[in-house]
Structure 1
C-alpha cells in the first residue's frame, strides 16, 4: 500500500514537472541554442537576460545609497562583464548538445529550468537557469553551473568590496573590469 502511494505520488510529481513553465523552458531552449551557435553574437544572449534586475540584485543593500548615475554606471559595467563572461563560456558550449530536462516553478512568475549540456567526449554538465516573468516577458536572472549561482557569487564579491571603509562604486566597477 505504502509502495503504491509512493509510486503514484512520484508519477504525479513527474507529470507536474513536465508541464511546469513552458514559457520559461522555451526561453532557455532558445537561449541555449543561441549560446552554442558560434555564429551568433551577444544580441540574443543580452535579450534573454534581465541585466537591470541582475545588477540591482548584485548591488544588494548598497543599491539604496547609490545615485541613479552611479547605478547606471554600475549596470553598464556589469552588463559588459556579464556578457563578456558568458561570451567566454560560449566556446565551451560550441557544438554541445543542450537539452531542457525539466523545471520547477517557485511561483507563477519564477522558475528554475534545468538543462543538461553534453559535449563530445565529456561527461554531461547540469546547468540551471533561474527565470522570472515581468511585464509578460520571461528573462534569465541567474545561472548555476557546478553548484555556483553567478549572480549570488557576484553579489558576495561586490558586497566584499563595498563593505570596506571608504569604498565607492568606482571600486566595484574597477573590479568588474579586471
Structure 2
C-alpha cells in the first residue's frame, strides 16, 4: 500500500505548479521540466519534496518515543523508498501535461495548488499539492490523488504498524523496503 502512495507522489512531481509565490512557482516549474524532459536522476525530486518533514509527519506520535538515530534511519529508508518508486515510474511520467486550475493560500507560507495531469491515452486526473515555505524555501509536503492525501494515509499505515505490541522502527522500515 505504501508503494502505491509513493507512486502517486511521483505523479505529483510531474504536475507541480504553484501560484503561492514566484519562488515556489519557479522551483516547481523547473522541477517538473527537468523530470519530464531529461535524465537528471533524482535530485529534482529530493529538492522539491521536504522528505524530512513528511517522514517526521508520517511517524506521528511515534516520533516522540524514537531516538534521533531511529528517526534518521526511518527518514533514510523513507527517502530511499520514495526515490526507488519514483525511478520505477519515471518513464511513464515523461510526457505528462499539466494544467494549473487554481490555488488556495492557507497562509503566506502555505498553499494548496490544484492541477490537472494528463498522460497520453488516459483520462485527466485532478491532483492537489500542499506547498509550504520554510526557511526561505518552498517544498511539497503532501499531495492529494483520488481523494486521498498521501502523507495522511502514509501516517495511518505507519501508525498501524507501530501501534502493535512490541513493534519497533525496524518493522516500519521493513514495510518501506517491501
1:103-151 CA distance string (max 9 Å, x none): 1111111111122111222211112111110011101111222222221
1: CA distance, partners of 2:28 / 2:19: 15
Aligned to 1:6: none
Shift of 1:38: 5.0
Aligned to 2:34: 34
Tell me whether 1:176 sits opposite 2:170 in the alignment. no
With over 3 angstroms needed to count, the CA separation of the structure-2 counterparts of 1:20 and 1:138, relative to structure 1, is closer
| DSSP 3-state at the match of 2:56 | helix
With over 3 angstroms needed to count, the CA separation of the structure-2 counterparts of 1:23 and 1:137, relative to structure 1, is same
Whether the 8 Å CA contact 2:19–2:113 is kept in 1: the answer is: no
| DSSP 3-state at the match of 2:104 | strand
| DSSP 3-state at the match of 2:98 | strand
2: CA distance, partners of 1:99 / 1:43: 23
Which structure 2 residues correspond to residues 54-65 of structure 1 after superposition, within 5 A?
54-65=54-65
TM-score, length-scaled by structure 2? 0.83
- Structure 1 stretch displaced more, 150-159 or 97-106: 97-106
2: CA distance, partners of 1:143 / 1:89: 16
Tell me whether 1:43 sits opposite 2:43 in the alignment. yes
| DSSP 3-state at the match of 1:76 | helix
Structure 2 unmatched ranges of 5 or more: 1-17
Aligned to 1:102: 102
Q: Which has the larger radius of gyration?
A: 1
Relative contact order (alpha carbons < 8 A, sep ≥ 6): 1 or 2 greater? 2
Whether the 8 Å CA contact 1:110–1:133 is kept in 2: the answer is: yes
Whether the 8 Å CA contact 1:24–1:111 is kept in 2: the answer is: no
Structure 1 unmatched ranges of 5 or more: 1-17
Tell me whether 1:77 sits opposite 2:77 in the alignment. yes
2: CA distance, partners of 1:106 / 1:65: 31
Shift of 1:174: 0.4
Whether the 8 Å CA contact 2:19–2:25 is kept in 1: the answer is: no
TM-score, length-scaled by structure 1? 0.83
Aligned to 1:166: 166
1:46-68 CA distance string (max 9 Å, x none): 01111110000000000000000
Structure 1 stretches of 4+ with a deviation exceeding 6 A read none
| DSSP 3-state at the match of 1:129 | strand
